[in-house]
Amino acid sequence: MYICDCHCNTLTQLYKDRSSIYQNKYHVDIERILANGGGLQFFAMYLPKE
């Protein structure tokens, strides 16, 4: 089975915490994506104007 997740807010939290996208404490990171066979992940990020 091929899984495609089309919306993930993890980047916003990583930006706030200055955490790594490769390995972190949130729901999605590159290490877990690769360990589970890869797939397709779209990341969404909100950046305020200020």
> What average pLDDT score do residues 10-35 get?
90
Look up tokens 């919306």; give the residue. 7
* Domain-located, residue 16: yes
3-state secondary structure of 5: strand
For the whole model, what pTM was predicted?
0.68
Cβ–Cβ under 8 Å, residues 43 and 11: yes
pLDDT for 34 beyond 80: yes
pLDDT band at 10 (very low <50, low <70, confident <90, very high): confident
* Domain-located, residue 50: no
The range of the structural domain enclosing residue 12 comes to 4-41
The count of domains in the chain is: 1
Which tops the pLDDT comparison, 50 or 13?
13
Distance CA 5, CA 39 (A): 8
Share of the chain above pLDDT 70, in %: 96
Please work out, in degrees rounded to the nearest 5, the angle formed at the alpha carbon of residue 32 by the alpha carbons of 16 and 40: 85
Cβ–Cβ under 8 Å, residues 14 and 20: yes
